[in-house]
Amino acid sequence: MNALDNFLFGLYPYICLTVFLLGSLIRFDRDQYTWKSDSSQLLKAGQLRWGSNLFHVGILFLFFGHFAGLLTPHFVYEPFIAASSKQLMAMISGGLFGLLGFIGVSLLLMRRLFEPRIRINSRTSDILLLVLLWLQFALGLATVPVSAHHLDGGMMMKLGDWAQHIVTFRAGAPELLGEVGWLFKLHMFLGMSIFLVFPFTRLVHVWSGFATVGYLMRPYQVVRARRLNVPAGQNQPRHPGAGV
Ligand code: HEM
């Protein structure tokens, strides 16, 4: 394990997570007017419908898939599914939704680069973010055929073990990646980098997207009808203009 691996897979995850959490908190606290998805639908709808929908369906599935897949301890799913079957499931579903997301992000990127109205209204960070996401999808998809060469689930378990060591602050995480290939490592590096840039981009809307689930649990809205049948004089404003 060389110093670069130690840094990238031992220290860098914590740098990214700290910037992600603290950065989001500070941006929410100091800069709420910039906390938005910055939709460009009003400038030009066109490709946005397909691009954005395909991208969001793909990325949301992959987000939850990675979260559950990497962070569920082996002993929890072991009684129900073998590691090799879990890997196959991840490859097929990840490949399918990865492809949908990749088509989506490609449409979004093309639109942002080649649609003059969108281009002129884009910040450099809007373009770089889409390039980063495009690369991440491409790398993720490229790992699928590589995984097909070792279907025993061993590599997937190592990656899951690494992620679980990181989030539980256990030592020795980088050593677990000894035999992991550079393609996987590059995919992991870019994945962590998305968390790093998150608070500085429109990605902050993801917090709000997830928070909308709270809507399902919000209290009922109390709507009161104007009171009728009130004896004359009792419902008058105390001074002119009040109660208008
Ligand atoms: C949690 C649920 C989410 C909701 C409700 C949501 C909603 C939205 C909305 C309303 C827009 C603006 C309309 C548009 O341009 O498509 C948008 C744009 C965008 N979202 Fe999300 N989003 C969610 C999750 C995510 C996730 C997980 C990512 C990536 C990690 C993401 C990345 C983006 C990007 C890059 C754009 C800009 C697309 C463009 O170039 O126009 N979103 N999102």
Ligand 1, atom 17, residue with closest C-alpha: 37
List Cα–Cα distances, 98 to 65, 103, 142, 151, in angstroms. Answer: 11, 9, 10, 19
Ligand 1 neighbour 63 (Cβ under 6 A): yes
Distance from C-alpha of 223 to C-alpha of 57, rounded to nearest angstrom: 36
pTM: 0.88
List Cα–Cα distances, 211 to 34, 56, 115, 208, in angstroms. Answer: 17, 16, 32, 5
Question: Domain ranges in the chain?
Answer: 9-31+41-209
The correct answer on CATH 3.10.105.10 for the domain covering 9-31+41-209 is: no
Predicted confidence pLDDT, tens digits, the chain (244 residues): 689 999 999 999 999 999 999 999 999 999 999 999 999 999 988 889 999 999 999 999 999 999 999 999 999 999 999 999 999 999 999 999 999 999 999 999 999 999 999 999 999 999 999 999 999 999 999 999 999 999 999 999 999 999 999 999 999 999 999 889 999 999 999 999 999 999 999 999 999 999 999 999 999 888 877 776 666 666 555 555 554 4
Ligand 1 neighbour 59 (Cβ under 6 A): yes
